[in-house]
Amino acid sequence: MYQHLALSENGFLFDTRTGTTYTLNQTGVWLVRALMTGMDKKLLVGHLKDAFDVDEVTAARDIEHFTFRLNELVLINPT
């Protein structure tokens, strides 16, 4: 599903289909890595909450906003 994406250690996300590069912050890198491993959104919320010491509502909202933007950029398919 994410074969067209390459993620560097320092936060650059490269779309091999378009040649476009995106710069991600630490949370974005973490989320893209988790999505690339197939982690579902429910598990993402729990892991993000623990990894970044945020409450569940904030984690869920941030994941929703981030995945919405990835979908807008046609980097992922809506789930």
What is the pLDDT, as a whole number, of residue 78?
56
How many other CB atoms are there within 10 angstroms of residue 51's CB atom?
15
Average confidence (pLDDT) over 37-55: 91
Rounded to an integer, the average pLDDT of 56-72 is 94
Across the chain, mean pLDDT equals 91
User: pLDDT-derived band of residue 40, with 50, 70 and 90 as boundaries?
Assistant: confident
Q: pTM for the whole thing? A: 0.84
Which tokens go with 35? 């999505």
63: which strand partners? none
Q: Residue 79 pLDDT more than 60? A: no
